[in-house]
Amino acid sequence: MRGATMATGQTTPTRGYTATKDQLQTRLRRIEGQVRGVERMVEDDRYCIDVLTQISAIRAALDKVALGLLDGHVRHCVQEGAEAGKADEMATELMAAVGRLMGRG
C-alpha cells in the first residue's frame, strides 16, 4: 500500500479518505456536537418528536460520512487491491461492509 514516510522512518498508510481527512474530522465533530445536543434535549425533557427529529438528522449525517468513506475506499483501496490481483477479496470485503452499513451484515 502507498504511504508517506514520517520523520521516524515509518510509513503511514494512505487511506481512501486521506485527502479529505480534515473535512471528515470536521463533519465528525459536528455530529458529535449534535449528539451532545440530543443529550441536552433529553436532560431538558424536550418533546419526543423533536428529539427523534434530531436523531434522524444525526443518522443522515453519519450515512453521508459512511458513503464518502465507501467512495474513497472504492476509488483507492479496492482499485489498489484489484491492481495487486485481489479483486475478488476486495469485492467481498466491500460488500460485507455495505451489508453492515445497511444493517444486514
CA 51 – CA 72 distance, rounded (Å): 32
- pLDDT tens sequence across 19-77: 788 999 999 999 999 999 999 999 999 999 999 999 999 999 999 999 999 999 999 99
Q: Whole-prediction pTM value?
A: 0.77
Q: CA angle at residue 95 from 90 to 93, to 5 degrees?
A: 35
Q: What's the burial of 78, exposed, middle or buried (CB within 10 Å: 0-12/13-18/19+)?
A: buried
Q: Is the pLDDT of residue 1 over 80?
A: no
Nearest of 26, 18, 30 to residue 60 by alpha carbon? 30
Amino acid at 59: R
